[in-house]
Structure 1
Amino acid sequence: MDTNVKEKGVTGGNLITVVKKKPGKLKKELILEGLCCANCAAKIEQKVGQLNGVASASMNFITKTLAVELEEINKMDEFIAAAKSIINKIEPDVVVREKVTDKSVKTVLILEGLCCANCAAKIERETEKILGVQAATVDFVSKKLIIDIIDTNRRDEIFHEVTKIVNRIEPDVKVIIGEQGKTKSLESHQHTHEHGGVDKDDFVKFALGAAAFGIATVLNFSFWIEFTLYLVSYLLIGGEVLIKAIKNIGRGQIFDENFLMCIATIGAFAIKQFPEAVAVMMFYQIGEFFQDLAVDRSRKSISELMNIRPDFANVKVGQSIKRVAPEEVKVGDFILVKPGEKIPLDGKVVEGSSMLDTSALTGESLPREVQSGDNVLGGFINKNGLLTIKITKEFGESTVAKILDLVQNASSKKAPTESFITKFARYYTPAVVILAAALAFLPPLFITGATFSEWLYRALVFLVVSCPCALVVSIPLGFFGGIGGASKNGILVKGGNYLEALNNVETVIFDKTGTLTKGVFKVTEIKPKRNVTREELLEYAAYAESYSSHPIATSILNAYGKRVKKEEVQGYNEISGQGVKVRLKGKEILAGNSRLMKSQGISYDTTEVVGTVVYLAVDRQYAGYILISDELKEDSARAIEALRAVGVKKTVMLTGDNKIAAEKIASGLGLDEVYSELLPNQKVEKLEKLDREKSSKSKLIFVGDGINDAPVLARADIGIAMGGIGSDAAIEAADVVIMTDEPSKIATAIKIAKRTKSIVWQNIIFALGVKAIILVLGALGVATMWEAVFGDVGVALIAVLNAMRAMKIDRA
């Protein structure tokens, strides 16, 4: 291995390894999907770097990319196999993919009528194997198939291959491609019967079958009349299940619920257990109906939580009002919002005043008063006054559109528990079927006096109870319900993986400005030096900060109160983490923190005050300072107490503010640690240090709101952004967005995550426990098919109903 020189550093939140390499080496990049442990990432980098033939290895945790340089090009296949082995040992749930230079295109297909979770998992697995598909995820709750296509030239072929897969696994499911809010069918034919639906003919057949069953059970008939009645009843009630099973066998889909029920009931007929055969099929159908009803109801409940999409906008065109779709409104347009209407897009009130219902976005029950000059978000409901609003964002970039996208696609990011259950289900059913076959045939061969009919009946009990639908349906439903419940509280969680990760939080790191404080700055002191007046000092500061949108700059401009002639500002130069340098009327103006003065070699008067100090120098002579103060949010102290109550061990603040102000705020809130006067890259370094200090299985949260926080948000195990005043960059980089800007909602999010996990594990333990008991009792000859039916559809129904509780989480 070459002794290449490595220099490591942090830039913009990315861990970078600079390698002075020799020519002729091959660079390879691997994507580690699902990697969420920074400590494991470091181990992977170290172990892969020690492989023979590897010149260098660099793990970028933010992009989840492992970049390596190989000394020998012909050893590529050996390297990839060895690297995958190392990664799977350290992080078994991580999926390793070779990076493809072509940008993937995400496409969403609607699987209309999909109601079998087991079949959904099969569709997902087979779609991933299609040439040109990078990844595929079935969101069973919203009936979506999300595909990442890397070979866009094969897009139409991929769609048709997906349709073939779906038609083979679930023939009654209709595949629809979604395009910008509209949908079009991939197939021209229409299905008259949606899978899982119950129409009038089905109900009549079921009723006739139940009547025949009742007559055969109550009255005494000869054997053949009784057999005929039970057979007619069986075919009327379970005929559809038989047809589906036969079709699925023809397509190679054997181990599904239809097949298991048919084998079990036909077997019961074979050993002359006619009443139980029909009863099993009847209660199976009833259970399936109520299970589908419960799932549909939960879907509807979740969709109602996000019923915030506006239907129209009243655009002012001259003296008239034109009603248009929100997508047609442009930035700068003026719209009219009447009482009772939803505000369709983000904007600023230019005329009128009113009370707004913000609960759909923020979870706050109290209405918010707005007037001219206030910013409003799409999705708020106007309660009483007439408002004229100037639009500041197009619909696609508006808050309501982003919220809808976040919540609707959140369940595509599966939690580790959900992924485990999906894998478990693949092996559970075949294993139980094999055990059932052994139970039917082995005891009669080796146990004296054992009859085949008796042990076949026990095996049939195994088959009935073996379907894993209770788990495959209820687990994703539980996580999606938790995400929906969080959104109802004004907390947007971008995936089930992040919701589950919130259960293991040990350290919470806060930014200060706009996170723990209001981010509303006011100039509280102006201290000029020598021959500079207060007015001149404030004017210099206002012109220097005129191109900045930072809250500190805004407060200086507000205090100045006059129009700034930006054309007089020349040579504007922003010095990262320090301040700005401009030329104004032939003079060089420096405005910034103490680091700026030191870096420019300017002697200045140090001051120990609470607040943010902006020092100014004119022509490299110290001219004085301006003090800007910020206020703590009302619930910041409560947030720290609540975090300790839910088990967080350490709370830390990272800020670019001066040491005195930072320490006073940290002391007042009772924070464990505080680091002040940090540049953005230094925040990342401190976060990585704190990450190394926590236990290996715990998670670290960073909470921020500004654009400078984006690298740290991306680097943390879980990044939480303050969404109300937070920058778009911070919200994009974060994993959780708090719409109310209340830090106390972090503890609420953790409580929701813990309750969701509790509900999910209740379902896992209940479903597997009941099935295990019935399997054991069935093998011993104690449990009958009646108990087995409960172990299948009864358990599934109870698990689904329990999962729905995750949506009904009260505000904490």
Structure 2
Amino acid sequence: MNKKQKKMLGRIIISAILIVVLEQLPIAGMLRFGLFLFPYLIIGYDILIKAFNGIRNKQVFDENFLMAVATIGAMMVGIFGEGDYTEAIAVMLFYQVGELFQSYAVGKSRKNISELMDIRPDYANVERNGKLERVDPDEVGIGSIIIVQPGEKVPLDGVIIEGESSLNTSALTGESLPREAVIGDEIISGCINMTSVLKIQTTKEFGESTVSKILDLVENASSRKSKSEDFISKFAKVYTPLVCYSALALAIIPPLVRMFGMGLSPDWADWIYRALTFLVISCPCALVISIPLSFFAGIGGASKEGILVKGSNYMETLSKTKYVVFDKTGTLTQGVFEVNGIHHNEMEDSKLIEYAALVESASSHPISKSLQKAYGKEIDRSRVTETQEISGNGITAKVDGIEVAAGNAKLMNRLNIKYIECHHVGTIIHMAINGSYAGHIIISDIIKPHSAEAIRSLKKAGIEKAVMLTGDAKAVAESVAKSLGMDEVYSELLPGDKVSKVEELLNIKTEKAKLAFVGDGINDAPVLSRADIGIAMGAMGSDAAIEAADVVLMDDNPIKIAKAIKISRKCIRIVYQNIVFAIGIKFIVLVLGALGIANMWLAIFADVGVTIIAVLNAIRVLFVKKL
């Protein structure tokens, strides 16, 4: 418990003890009223102040106003001997108990988010004149050299230039296993250096670093409201004034009817007591507190698993997902391409690889990197001229003045070069030298270990269709799709084709079913934005992912997609349970209160009891079952 919660608990205990003691004393009249006023003010002074401020600010109708009117009214009825001061104080007492439960529950769910907030670095170590100086991360520019010692947070994104160490990334990914980092590795802010000193050259300013973007994402998540939250806000604005006027009518109209219409005693005290009971029952705390808390707990529980949901509206959309569309490379596969076959006419393997690596040297595509890796030597770009990249086909260039073309079958057809079909599964890079076919290179991507299990988990979670989109050749795409158990696969797609295919799938699905697109976030921003909900995975360090996606998975394990959907469905299920339970109980007890059957104690249960049950139900979202 924090200091504020402990103070509230103390007020609750003191008030409860005073009620018990005062009930035993043989006192009556104004003395009794004066003594009972002490525990009433101890437990309820803040509610009375909030109600007064609400009236002063012309925002009258809220739960503080309802509590103040109901309890002050009950105390006044007690003066005339028609009520019990204990009931009035008990209303305040149990209301504050409900508030304490709610505060504790929010703290519990906030803890998961605050653990994530702990990734914010306090300082950066910069070496000056042979000594380490601690400076604000905001003061460190791009290209600066920083030192990160064991146990310290990495304050900025950069590249390791000296040292090897293990990194704790659990605050970002939810994974407890450390990651090994060596010279040349990119390293992102928010990780904790565990074993050895690292010297890092920064690649981003603090404001653009991964940690800053993640913190901004989490801090703004609560501003994006779901339809359920909007409904509750609108409901409370109409509901609260309505019940106030209804209570007023209940206090005035029946006595007047009895007096003028039936000639009977009006019995004002009885009807006022009923009206006050009606006010206590009608307080919308259970809905106003538990619904936002459910979403807050859902976002907190997801963040603990390394799943960042940008708002409760996305949580709601995610829960309705029935179609999941995957980009292949970097999402279902590791995006690590390796040359595993070279077929040529009369040219040596090494020479064909050399030409391929040089002609592809200007590209940052993983296939280009795999060719450069297979070449194994430093690339001399001065040997390459007249480079032309043809989207969806390949690259042509001159290497040492020799015309070289590297690409797929479309490029060979475009250049009117007769090529040899390759029946091996993989990405085929056809090569042409001076207009003649020289052979082809086979490159394969590696499927992630958990991809097949992730698809099975999605099917188990009720996903109707899993679809894979890729720019790879049909044979490669179908081989990967079959091994993973995909329902549909679309191959040989250009980047623009992926958007068109997602739009096509959006048009054929039912309106209630939502479509999620899962990509690596680097070049999938248009598709992530077009889908009902965009999920970027393996997003550590990817600005595009954090900006474009609605849900960000901080590591590259695809099984977390099913976990994210399960968390969202559990969250929405609890929201609906609380709505039905709270409205149902209140309606029943409101009718009983209007009929004079329900007393103030039953009203307390209808308000505080229902609130506590709803809050306890809401915090169940925090507990995520292991898949």
TM > 0.5 fold call:
yes
Q: Give the one of 437, 451, 454 matched to 1:639.
A: 454
Q: 8 Å contact 1:255–1:430 — kept in the other structure?
A: yes
Q: 8 Å contact 2:168–2:177 — kept in the other structure?
A: yes
1:403 corresponds to: 214
Q: Report which stretch shifted further, 590-599 or 552-561.
A: 590-599
User: Structure 2: 5+ residue runs without aligned partners?
Assistant: none
Determine if the alignment matches structure 1 residue 678 to structure 2 residue 493. Answer: yes
Superposed CA offset, 1:274-306 (max 9, x none): 422333334434544554454345434531243
How much does 1:715 deviate? Answer: 1.1
| Separation in structure 1 between the aligned mates of residue 390 and residue 105 of structure 2, nearest angstrom | 58
Q: 8 Å contact 1:268–1:457 — kept in the other structure?
A: yes
Q: Give the one of 156, 166, 169 matched to 1:358.
A: 169
Q: Report which stretch shifted further, 476-485 or 238-247.
A: 238-247
Q: Report which stretch shifted further, 225-234 or 481-490.
A: 225-234
How much does 1:716 deviate? Answer: 0.9
1:757 corresponds to: 572
Structural mapping, 1:202-351, within 5 Å? 213-231=19-37, 233-235=39-41, 237-272=43-78, 273-275=83-85, 276-317=87-128, 319-351=130-162
Determine if the alignment matches structure 1 residue 511 to structure 2 residue 317. Answer: no
How much does 1:635 deviate? Answer: 0.5
1:160 corresponds to: none
1:386 corresponds to: 197
How much does 1:207 deviate? Answer: 8.1
1:419 corresponds to: 230
2:304 corresponds to: 488
2:364 corresponds to: 549
SS in 2 for 1:339: coil
Structural mapping, 1:682-693, within 5 Å? 682-693=497-508
Q: Give the one of 549, 552, 561 matched to 1:746.
A: 561
Superposed CA offset, 1:501-547 (max 9, x none): 111111111111111111111111222334x3323322221111111
Letter in 1 for 2:24: V
Q: Give the one of 282, 294, 311 matched to 1:478.
A: 294
Determine if the alignment matches structure 1 residue 565 to structure 2 residue 385. Answer: no
| Separation in structure 2 between the aligned mates of residue 270 and residue 505 of structure 1, nearest angstrom | 55
Q: 8 Å contact 2:290–2:618 — kept in the other structure?
A: yes
| Separation in structure 1 between the aligned mates of residue 310 and residue 50 of structure 2, nearest angstrom | 37
How much does 1:237 deviate? Answer: 4.6
How much does 1:426 deviate? Answer: 0.9
| Separation in structure 1 between the aligned mates of residue 339 and residue 13 of structure 2, nearest angstrom | 79
Over 3 Å counting, the alpha-carbon distance change for 1:443 and 1:396 in structure 2 is: same
The Cα RMSD (Å) is 2.7
| Separation in structure 1 between the aligned mates of residue 526 and residue 43 of structure 2, nearest angstrom | 60
How much does 1:384 deviate? Answer: 1.9
Determine if the alignment matches structure 1 residue 438 to structure 2 residue 254. Answer: no
| Separation in structure 2 between the aligned mates of residue 239 and residue 733 of structure 1, nearest angstrom | 47
| Separation in structure 2 between the aligned mates of residue 659 and residue 318 of structure 1, nearest angstrom | 59
How much does 1:666 deviate? Answer: 1.0
Q: Give the one of 269, 288, 295 matched to 1:453.
A: 269
Determine if the alignment matches structure 1 residue 695 to structure 2 residue 501. Answer: no
TM-score by length of 2: 0.91
Q: Give the one of 663, 668, 676 matched to 2:478.
A: 663
Superposed CA offset, 1:369-427 (max 9, x none): 23333333222222222323332333223222222121121121111111111111111
Q: 8 Å contact 1:245–1:262 — kept in the other structure?
A: yes
Q: 8 Å contact 1:291–1:793 — kept in the other structure?
A: no
Over 3 Å counting, the alpha-carbon distance change for 1:736 and 1:258 in structure 2 is: closer
Letter in 2 for 1:495: G
Over 3 Å counting, the alpha-carbon distance change for 1:294 and 1:640 in structure 2 is: closer
How much does 1:668 deviate? Answer: 1.2
Give the number of the structure with larger relative contact order, counting CA–CA contacts within 8 Å between residues 6 or more apart: 2
Q: 8 Å contact 1:212–1:229 — kept in the other structure?
A: no
Superposed CA offset, 1:455-513 (max 9, x none): 22111111112222322222222212211221221222222111111111111111111
How much does 1:669 deviate? Answer: 1.2
SS in 1 for 2:428: strand
Q: 8 Å contact 2:110–2:300 — kept in the other structure?
A: no
| Separation in structure 1 between the aligned mates of residue 300 and residue 104 of structure 2, nearest angstrom | 19
Letter in 1 for 2:182: Q
Q: Give the one of 524, 529, 535 matched to 1:709.
A: 524
How much does 1:592 deviate? Answer: 1.4
How much does 1:309 deviate? Answer: 1.3
2:547 corresponds to: 732
Q: 8 Å contact 1:489–1:811 — kept in the other structure?
A: no
Superposed CA offset, 1:738-783 (max 9, x none): 2221111110111111111122223223322332232122122222
SS in 2 for 1:758: helix
Q: 8 Å contact 1:351–1:372 — kept in the other structure?
A: yes
Q: 8 Å contact 2:158–2:202 — kept in the other structure?
A: yes
| Separation in structure 1 between the aligned mates of residue 12 and residue 472 of structure 2, nearest angstrom | 73
Over 3 Å counting, the alpha-carbon distance change for 1:524 and 1:232 in structure 2 is: closer
| Separation in structure 2 between the aligned mates of residue 706 and residue 211 of structure 1, nearest angstrom | 59
User: Structure 1: 5+ residue runs without aligned partners?
Assistant: 1-195
How much does 1:243 deviate? Answer: 4.4
Of Structure 1 and Structure 2, the greater helix share is in 2
2:592 corresponds to: 777
Superposed CA offset, 1:297-346 (max 9, x none): 54345312432112222223464322222222333333322222222222
Structural mapping, 1:149-188, within 5 Å? none
| Separation in structure 2 between the aligned mates of residue 738 and residue 721 of structure 1, nearest angstrom | 6
Structural mapping, 1:137-156, within 5 Å? none
| Separation in structure 1 between the aligned mates of residue 6 and residue 160 of structure 2, nearest angstrom | 51
SS in 2 for 1:432: helix
Over the matched positions of the two proteins, sequence identity in percent amounts to: 56
Q: Give the one of 441, 446, 457 matched to 1:626.
A: 441
Over 3 Å counting, the alpha-carbon distance change for 1:789 and 1:514 in structure 2 is: same
Q: Report which stretch shifted further, 798-807 or 570-579.
A: 798-807
Q: 8 Å contact 2:169–2:179 — kept in the other structure?
A: yes
Over 3 Å counting, the alpha-carbon distance change for 1:301 and 1:513 in structure 2 is: closer
Q: 8 Å contact 1:294–1:797 — kept in the other structure?
A: no
SS in 2 for 1:315: strand
How much does 1:240 deviate? Answer: 4.6
Q: Give the one of 449, 459, 467 matched to 2:283.
A: 467
Q: Report which stretch shifted further, 724-733 or 455-464.
A: 724-733
Q: Give the one of 465, 470, 473 matched to 1:650.
A: 465
Structural mapping, 1:577-592, within 5 Å? 577-592=392-407
Over 3 Å counting, the alpha-carbon distance change for 1:284 and 1:410 in structure 2 is: closer
| Separation in structure 2 between the aligned mates of residue 725 and residue 609 of structure 1, nearest angstrom | 34
Q: 8 Å contact 2:218–2:308 — kept in the other structure?
A: yes
SS in 1 for 2:126: strand
1:11 corresponds to: none
Letter in 2 for 1:771: K
Over 3 Å counting, the alpha-carbon distance change for 1:528 and 1:207 in structure 2 is: closer
| Separation in structure 2 between the aligned mates of residue 235 and residue 393 of structure 1, nearest angstrom | 55
TM-score by length of 1: 0.71
Q: Report which stretch shifted further, 268-277 or 508-517.
A: 268-277
Determine if the alignment matches structure 1 residue 600 to structure 2 residue 407. Answer: no
How much does 1:703 deviate? Answer: 1.2
| Separation in structure 2 between the aligned mates of residue 797 and residue 225 of structure 1, nearest angstrom | 34
Q: 8 Å contact 1:439–1:455 — kept in the other structure?
A: yes
Over 3 Å counting, the alpha-carbon distance change for 1:706 and 1:617 in structure 2 is: farther
Q: Report which stretch shifted further, 350-359 or 295-304.
A: 295-304
SS in 2 for 1:519: strand
| Separation in structure 2 between the aligned mates of residue 732 and residue 247 of structure 1, nearest angstrom | 40
| Separation in structure 1 between the aligned mates of residue 623 and residue 13 of structure 2, nearest angstrom | 36
* Count of aligned pairs: 615
